[in-house]
Amino acid sequence: MDLNYSPEELAFRDEVRSWLAANLPQELKDKAHYSKEELMRWHRILAAKGWVAPAWPKEWGGTGWSAVQRYIYEEELGSAGTPPIIPFGINMCAPVLIAFGTDAQKKRFLPRIYNGEDFWCQGYSEPGSGSDLASLKTKAVKEGAHYVVNGQKIWTTLAHYADWIFCLVRTDPTVEKRQEGISFLLIDMKSPGITLRPLMLMDGAHHVNEVFFDDVEVPADNLVHKENQGWTVAKYLLGYERMNTGRIGESKRELRKLKERFPEKMKDVRWRDRLSRVEVELMALEITNLRFLDRMRRTGQPPGADVSMLKIKGTEIQQALTELAMQAADPNARETQALERRYLDMRKTTIYAGSNEIQRNIIAKMTLGL
Amino acid sequence: MNFDYNEEQQLLADSVRRYLQKDYDFESRKKILATPQGWSERVWANFAEMGLTGLPLSPDYGGFGGGAVDLMSVVEAFGEALVVEPYLPSMLAAAAIAKGGTQEQKQAILPAVAQGRMRLAFATGERGVIGAPLAQRIVLARDGRLTLHDKFNVAAYRTVDDLAAGDVAFEDKGEPLGAAGGVLEEVLDLGAALSCAEAVGALKFSCDTTLEYLKTRKQFGVPIGAFQALQHRMVDMFISYEQARSMACLACSKVDQAESAQDRARSVSAAKVRIADAARHVSQEAVQLHGGMGMTEELKVSHTFRRLTALARRFGDVDQHLERFASL
């Protein structure tokens, strides 16, 4: 057992760190909100370096890094304050295409995702189907070489930026087991019949939308995997998603900023102790994450359901940090507004990507056998 | 970076576990506690036969040159079995002598400790010295200095978790150990890190036994583990345990190998804070989810509650470690 990074891993960390220091444009650093242009600019900088999709197979542009190297890389991105890599294309649609797509689908979509030519969004949740996703009703009916899609998606993050949406749709409403009537469909956002309605969240920002489908024609070639087997695809994706929600690098950076911004509060033992407890939680999360990666390396097995705890703890920590920041600042000051908005915004983290209650259900069932 | 025990550590951990399962089950432990002295010389002799009493000592003195991670695999198993023989205090005192003693002191004491003929205790004051009733020598840490004592009187009692302890009246001035100031802090960090590892073993038992109970105890015609309110609490216990295990690994590995004394101290204190929180959370929930049965002496879960309650505060409580963590 040795929890220090090896000399090679340290050298890799230094390489990433110094590249980021030299190549992250100052004006893109550490902003609360990024425009589409800013997000894509950073995406293309990483793509040009060959670092935008480290986890992909090498033939499609992956880096061949070990799990620990990928972890170091992500932590350095968070720690440097880069714009986020929007996950829907790189980390969600692409792994699905790599695992389930046809050769034609891979050739058509993967290079465009890699180079940031297509912006993707995710069409999963519906007004009546949140935690109970398998109850979804958006309907796709095969008519010749097309599916005709009708229905509504909700909470669609950055749909107003997106060129494409990957959707779970119901292709068989008659099956008894609801999961067996669902398919995974790729839909061009410019298709006639798609309309968007922004949903403003309590921080006053436009992140999410409702997406309406009204007789939208989708070429049958855009079906991924087999018809009525979309649930298999969705489950595969969830594993990927959970491994990625700890946001440890980002939280480390927030913590450091908090200490720098409020040096006088660090002398207030009550506040400082609350901060220290969060810092300890973050250390424990980091080591746990590394321990899971080490287990994957050792066993060659994909992440188990217990990685749900990374999502639970990671999001609790993100929320605690925004709360501490707000508590440290003058409640009436203009400068506090950004901290307050971030506090408001971060409440979403324990709800999205499978609420923390759903994550607990997953651990209870899959890991503990309850 | 890796979290594996090496082959030797794994073999050792396995053989200790096997021994404890065979010779130190809950009923055997009860019998030991029913004796007047409350610990077993036979068990101590078995420890010596397995090489445990020489584990952290240099081969020069008949030991195996083990570090904190080697000891971790042993004390974790001890925590799971709720061993009452005060192994850790003896090993800490031996480590203090090994690090700060003269050649003569080492020769006189360490081989005897390794062979199981001599037991030590480690005291940070005159009161509440764990292992004092069975120790032939006591290492005393006071005012930042370490001294070695062989003349003392002990007023014995048992701690809340059934360890033999005593208030000690020292009758000699003691021989000074180790001029270097770092030794005491190193030994205390070793003790804190290993108390974390011991807690992890006890946490594992608490989680395992509670999960088993949720699956077998029926009310309203179903196993109580079918209720979501209890499922989520069980999941939170499991998460606490996993977080605690991670931090125990961190603490022990940093005691063996850290960039600096500060790096070590910071990791150990963080671990101690997290594990004290986990100890409190998991032990309380384990008793609660067992209902009335969790309160009784009849189930091991209540004895584990007592061990975790004590471990959370040994080698510095949450407040002390939070203070040190924040100041580094």
Strand (E) or helix (H) holding A218: strand A208-219
Ranking A229-238, B161-170, B189-198 by mean pLDDT, the lowest is A229-238
Token pair in block for residue B152: 């003392």
For B4, nearest residue in chain A (alpha carbons):
A1
Q: What is the DSSP string of B65-79?
A: ---HHHHHHHHHHHH
Q: Across the interface, which of A2, A279, A313 has its CB nearest the CB of B2? A: A2
Per-domain residue ranges for chain B?
Answer: 7-177, 182-327
Query: What's the mean pLDDT when you consider all of chain A?
Result: 94
Query: Would you place residue A1 in the very low, low, confident or very high pLDDT band (cuts 50, 70, 90)?
Result: confident
Task: Point out the catalytic residue in the list A75, A76, A126, A241.
Answer: A241
Place A243 in a pLDDT band, splitting at 50, 70 and 90.
low
pLDDT of A36 strictly over 80: yes
Residue spans in chain A of domains classed CATH 1.10.540.10? 7-85
* A139 pLDDT more than 80: yes
Where b means 16+ CB within 10 Å and e means fewer, B69-84 reads bbbbbbbbbbbbbbbb
- Determine the CATH number of domain A7-85: 1.10.540.10
Q: So what's the pLDDT on residue A119?
A: 97
B151 band by pLDDT with thresholds 50, 70 and 90: very high
A276 contact residues in B (CB cutoff 8 A)? 273, 322, 325-326
Contact criterion met (CB < 8 Å) for B238 and A272? no
Q: Which long-range contacts (CB under 8 A, 24 or more apart) does A109-113 make?
A: A109/A186, A110/A56, A110/A60, A110/A61, A111/A60, A113/A53, A113/A89
The two three-digit tokens of residue B158, written as one number: 């048992």
pLDDT of residue A19: 98
Task: Judge: B231–A360 Cβ closer than 8 Å, yes or no.
Answer: yes
pTM attached to this predicted model: 0.95
Per-residue confidence (pLDDT) for residue A28, from 0 to 100: 97
**Does this complex have an ipTM over 0.85?**
yes
**Element spanning B140, H or E:** strand B137-142
Best mutation target, A1, A255, A357, to test chain B (most B CBs within 10 A): A1
Question: Which whole-number Å values give the CA distances from A221 to A71, A187, A232, in the listed order?
Answer: 35, 11, 19
Residues B139/B96, Cβ–Cβ less than 8 Å = yes
Measured CA to CA, the distance from residue A240 to residue B145 in angstroms comes to 54
Give the H/E segment covering residue A151: strand A146-153
Q: Among this protein's residues, is A241 annotated catalytic? A: yes
CATH of domain A245-367: 1.20.140.10
User: CB–CB of B86/B103 below 8 Å?
Assistant: no
For A47-77, give the DSSP string: HHHT-S-TTS-GGGT-----HHHHHHHHHHH
Q: Which of the residue ranges A87-96, A214-223, B4-13, B98-107 would you say has the lowest mean pLDDT?
A: B4-13
C-alpha A32 chain-centroid distance: 17
Q: With an 8 Å Cβ cutoff, are B239 and A313 in contact? A: yes
Q: What is the pLDDT of residue A294?
A: 87
Q: Give the mean model confidence (pLDDT) for residues A297-303.
A: 80
Band (pLDDT 50/70/90 cuts) for residue A4 is: confident
Whether the pLDDT of residue A151 is over 80: the answer is yes
Please report where in the chains the tokens 């088993």 appear, as a residue. Answer: B212
From its phi and psi, is residue A193 left (phi > 0), alpha (psi between -120 and 50) or beta?
left
Chain region(s) in chain A for CATH 1.20.140.10: 245-367
Cα–Cα distance, A31 to B70 (Å, whole number): 46
The amino acid occupying position A176 is E
Burial class of residue B327 (count of CB atoms within 10 Å of its CB; 0-12, 13-18, 19+): exposed
* Residue B5 tokens, joined: 């025990």
* Chain B residues within an 8 Å CB radius of A367: 238
Structure token digits, residue A219: 């070429």
What is the DSSP code (8-state) at residue A139? E
Shortest Cα distance from B52 to chain A (angstroms)? 19
Q: Which residue, A322, A306, A305, A319, is CA-closest to A352? A: A319
Please give the CATH topology (third level) of the domain spanning B182-327.
Butyryl-CoA Dehydrogenase, subunit A; domain 3 (1.20.140)
- CATH classification code of B7-177: 1.10.540.10
Other Cβ atoms within 10 Å of A197 Cβ, number: 12
Of the ranges A135-144, A237-246, B226-235, which one carries the lowest mean pLDDT score?
A: A237-246
Which residues, in sequence order, are bridge partners of residue A223?
A185
Q: Which of A9, A284, A291 has its CB closest to that of B274?
A: A284
Interface touch B238/A2, C-beta < 8 Å: no
pLDDT reported for residue B180: 63
Taking a C-beta distance cutoff of 8 angstroms, is the pair A191, A216 a contact?
yes
Partner B contacted by A367 (CB < 8 A)? yes
Residue of B218, B239, B275, B321 to mutate for A, most A C-beta atoms under 10 A: B239
- In this prediction, residue A244 carries a pLDDT of 65
Residue with the two structure tokens 């489950």: A235
Quote the mean pLDDT of chain B. Answer: 96
Closest CA to A87 of A39, A125, A142, A17: A39
Q: Name the residue among A29, A49, A21, A25 with its Cα closest to residue A114.
A: A49
Question: For chain B, what percent of residues have pLDDT higher than 90?
Answer: 93
- Residues in chain B closer than 8 A to A291 (CB atoms): 3, 245-246, 249
- Using one digit for the tens of pLDDT, what is the confidence trace for B179-237? 667 889 999 999 999 999 999 999 999 999 999 999 999 999 999 999 999 999 999 99
**What pLDDT is stored for residue B259 in this prediction?**
87
Length of chain B: 328
**In the prediction, which pLDDT does A242 show?**
67
With bands split at pLDDT 50, 70 and 90, how would you rate the model's confidence at A67? Answer: confident
Closest-CA residue of B relative to A292 is B3
Fold (topology level) of A120-229: Butyryl-CoA Dehydrogenase, subunit A; domain 2 (2.40.110)
The answer to whether the CB of A266 falls within 8 A of the CB of B327 is no
At A98, list the tokens. 């790599």
